[in-house]
Amino acid sequence: MAVKKTKTATKKTASKAATTKTATKAKNIKVSEETVIDRFLRYVKFDTQSDERSGASPSTPSQHELAKALVSELETIGASDVYYDKEHCYVYATIPSTLGRKKAPVLGFISHMDTSDACSGKDVKARIVEKYDGKDVVLNESDPETGAKIVLSPKTFPELLNHKGEDLIVTDGTTLLGADDKAGISEIMTMAAYLLSHPEIKHGKIRIGFTPDEEIGEGTKFFDLKRFGADFAYTVDGGKLGELEYECFNAAEVELIIHGRSVHPGDAKGKMLNASLIAYEFQSMLPQFDNPMYTEKKEGFFHLTLMKGTCEKAVAYYIIRDHDKKKFTERKKLVEKIVKFLNDKYGAGTVELTMEDSYYNMIEKLKPHMHLIDNARKAMEQAEVTSIENPIRGGTDGAMLSFKGLPCPNLCTGGYNYHGKYEYASVQEMYKTVEILENLAQIYGSYKG
């Protein structure tokens, strides 16, 4: 693990957000006194799964509940310009500059409120495993479906051994945890509470943004760049402590609709056209090992996400990913070539293809702004954390925002095993991430450009 081990907090900034006089009336909690962990355990209780099938924005109404809670909390801790887009479920706020007339770039921090629909996010029961000993963690004595124990084990997840002696936040094995990205929200909110209650700390204007529907690729669909008004930003949506991500996949989505011809199998020769078999034929013509199961680092792939059908009609959905723009284009051309072959073989219109680009590699837009990377490294060094710089095998809101004109690399949160019931987060790494964010705020307070 490329992280220097230190005590839970080397500065009082990371241990607690400082006190203000105002308390949250609804729950009578002094929000500004909460730690990043207090916030996180509170936020994960909100069921905010997004749903790509809904067609609405936000895709699920439950995301509004967390948004409203965050708006109330931002107002309580003294943030200014707090704005809630009630139609599309975006939250914006400002931490005012403490520099007086001195100029500094406007820096933004962004996280998303939704969680993946790959695993239930309802009734999350989080608990803290103190001073993890490197052994199996029994999440649940009896799986509701199988009756077997649900175990988080280093045999399956070897990276757990890097956390010996740390405190881990886990689930009861029936839901995901929601660290993606409620850990990021908690860290941004804790940073905000601390800075707002310590005006002696020098920093420029800081903008905060919380988005819906990132997990379904629509987190920036209605993001108001003009209202946000930042010169640069960071998404806080990564994983392992030290992760600093500024390269990602180029991405496209593919929909295939295959039209067959159903005939009684007893009289089918020369007449039947089996749509499901044609779907399988398409899959067989893709490179076998260009598949997520066999790829890593900057290797691209074709990923079949859904296939269903009958003899009469079948559908198949794929995602295409590659860090290299040329290879990405070649992958899309291969899909088109296979579709043409099948239509020539079985008749025009047999296979309908819809293919759309989703996002592109953010490095293209970040190269002119590498100070964002240099300053993130500096902020991590100040927190005694070593940066880990690997390309993202996925995408973030930051990729789309970068192409919309807001350069936006991605930072760590301290969460692991996202999108499943074995998800966990490190308490110590979450404290450290808060420290990194506070360091960045101060670095850009004196940044000359």
Please give the annotated binding residues for Zn(2+), written as ranges: 112, 180, 215, 237, 419
Question: Residue positions in the annotated binding site?
Answer: 112, 180, 215, 237, 419
Do 399 and 435 form a contact (C-beta atoms < 8 A)?
Answer: no
Residue 352 is inside which H or E element, if any?
A: strand 351-359
Do 220 and 90 form a contact (C-beta atoms < 8 A)?
Answer: no
Q: How far is the first Cα of the chain from the last one, in angstroms, to the nearest whole number? A: 33
Q: How many CB atoms lie within 10 A of CB 200?
A: 5
Catalytic residue among 187, 214, 290, 322: 214
Is 114 part of the annotated catalytic residue set? yes
- Coil, strand or helix: which one is 391? coil
List C-alpha distances in Å: 431 to 13, 45, 184, 399: 9, 20, 11, 26
φ, ψ for residue 162, nearest 5 deg: -75, -10
Residue 67 is inside which H or E element, if any?
A: helix 63-77
Q: State whether the Cα torsion 400-405-406-407 is positive or negative.
A: positive
Q: Which two tokens stand for residue 134?
A: 């490197």
Q: Which two tokens stand for residue 331?
A: 């992958």
Q: Where are the beta strands (DSSP E) in 146-205?
A: 150-152, 168-170
Catalytic residue among 34, 114, 245, 423: 114
Q: Annotated active-site positions, please? A: 114, 214
